[in-house]
Homo-oligomer: A and B are copies of this chain.
Amino acid sequence: MGKAYNVMAATCPSRTVLHRIGARWTVFVVNALADGPRRFTDLKAHIQGITPKVLTETLRSLEADGLISRQEYLENPPRVEYALTPLGRSLLVPLRAVRLWAEQHVPDIDAARARHEDRAATGTA
């Protein structure tokens, strides 16, 4: 069967999937859970700059899509652990590649941006 869905079609369901993946913080959360379950506060500290509200929203969305699981322990103090599901772990593969690409190509992008600045400053010539 292979490719039944085509992302370029406006009505294709894969659109909504890609939308979720492309959401601002998905790649961070999924990568952060790569090494095992983490707690809310732990995630918040690890993913620097994320606000609790956005983290909550991201986690809820990912949970709704079956990419992560939320396990509540009614201990003391109450503890909540988030972990990747098998589906989430399969997404980790391409997302890790994206993260790696980003980390490896910072100099290239920076250089391109500098060149662009130059060209803009010098005039359109």
A residues near B (Cβ < 8 Å) are 3-11, 13-24, 27-28, 31-32, 46-49, 63-67, 87, 90-91, 93-95, 97-106, 108-113, 115-116
User: Is B94 a contact of A97 with CB atoms below 8 Å?
Assistant: yes
| A66-B102 CB under 8 A given contacts A27-B22, A31-B7, A93-B97 | no
Residues in chain B near residue A21, CB distance under 8 A: 98, 101-102
Q: Does the CB pair B109–A17 fall under 8 Å? A: yes
The 3 closest A-B pairs by CB, nearest first: A66-B112, A10-B48, A94-B97
* A116 surroundings in chain B (CB, below 8 A): 63-66
Chain B residue contacts of A115, Cβ below 8 A: 66
